Structure formats: structure tokens, C-alpha cells
Amino acid sequence: MALCTDYLIHERSYQRKRRNPDFVGWMDRVNTESHLAAVGEWMAAVPPCRLLELGCGAGDQSLYLAARGFDCVGVDIAPTAVAWAQEKAASEGLAAKFHVGDVLALPFPDASFDHVLDGSCWHCIIGEDRGRFLAEAARVLRPGGTFTTITMINGCKYAGAMEYDAERRIQWMEGFAVRYWTTEAEVLRDAAAAGLEVARSKIRGVSESYPEEILFIDLIL
């Protein structure tokens, strides 16, 4: 099957999730809370700074970090998710800002952030776009700035209703390639190509109901 992508497929998912009271954003409350605990543990080593979240969705990670002193900006391709994030920021009285935009052509000037956080977005980006994603992250980082990616690796453990191609490590939905499971070796190769060096990394699971292996890695420009 050819690698067709449609990143706006996430908008259709958010429209369904927004109507479902079990969902607080991309995930339900239990999975969101355990994911935020893992993200919070990792981000505790990063001093509060001006931070951009790529693929911020309904804003939970940015809002969690904004409540801990970060000056957060989030960007996501799904308008329903961005509106949801803006509503949460207003109701929680947090100053985080959320924008509709494509991570492959970020609507921000060069060197405008101290830290870029991959909001579990890079594993949604397929094929040659994956290099563009890292190049854009590096472009908006100031020299010496840092980039955290939180990305599924080493193959899908739970495909759910979606078809999984184990040979290409790609998951399909509605005929589109929607997820890519990279490897640590590929991340190191792609980071080097974008001029980023590894600062620290760790592979961990997130929760029993979400069995994927997740690579947390900090890269420095």
C-alpha cells in the first residue's frame, strides 16, 4: 500500500472525542493522568522557560507545564482540539496560548523558543515528513535550546481497531498511514541530520492499559 497521509484525520477523531464524556482530550482521564505523571517526571529536569508543544491536542501537557511556571505555546492541526485547549486555559486561568497550525510549516519565527516538546506528535508523522518535522523543531529553537521527543518505538503492541503493518512499522486508519514506530537508532540518525545532539534518553512504558514502549529523549541544538 502506498504511503498516503492525511494529518487532518485527527480533527475527525477530536470531533468524536469531544462528544464522548469519557474523553478529556486525546485520551480518557485515567490515561491522561498517568501520561502527565510520566511527562511531569521527565520535564522536572527542564527549568521553566518559553516552550512550544508540537501537536498539543486539547492542551493537557501544555496546561500541566503552564501551571508549573512554563510560558507555553501549543500548536495543532486540529481546530476542535485547539478550541478545546483554549477553553481549558480560560477555565483554569492559565496563560498558555494555542494555535491551529501544521508542525511541518510552523507559524513561528526562527529561534523563538527555549524548549520544544513533541506532544506525542512525531509518531503521527510519516515518511519524508519526519525529517521536516525535526528540521522545523530545530528552526524555531534558539541556539543551545532543547527538544524533548516522547515517541512510540519498537513496534506496535496494541493495534486496537487499526491495521498494523509490522514490516514497515506503520498503522493505518481509513486507508491513511497514521502512526510510525521508529527505533532508537533511527532517532539518533534523524537527530544528527537536524543538527541536534543527545542530552539524555530513557525508554519506558506509560500505563498497563497503554502497553507501547515510549522513548523519552532530550536533544540539544
- Contact flag: residue 149 with ligand SAM (CB under 6 A): no
- Region for 59 from its dihedrals, namely left if φ exceeds 0, alpha if ψ lies in -120 to 50, beta otherwise: left
The distance of closest approach from Cβ of residue 21 to ligand SAM in the complex, given in angstroms and rounded to an integer, is 17
Alpha carbon distance 151, 215 (integer Å): 5
Which phi and psi (to 5°) does residue 84 adopt?
-60, -45
- Contact flag: residue 63 with ligand SAM (CB under 6 A): no
**Contact positions with ligand SAM (CB under 6 A) in 107-136:** 119-121, 124
Distances (CA, A) of 110 to 46, 72, 137, 143: 21, 17, 10, 10
The distance of closest approach from Cβ of residue 191 to ligand SAM in the complex, given in angstroms and rounded to an integer, is 19
Alpha carbon distance 44, 40 (integer Å): 6
**Which of 51, 52, 56, 65 contacts ligand SAM by CB under 6 A?**
56
# chain residues binding ligand SAM, by CB under 6 A: 20
Name the site residues for ligand SAM (rule: CB under 6 A): 7, 10, 25-26, 55-57, 60-61, 76-78, 81, 102-104, 119-121, 124
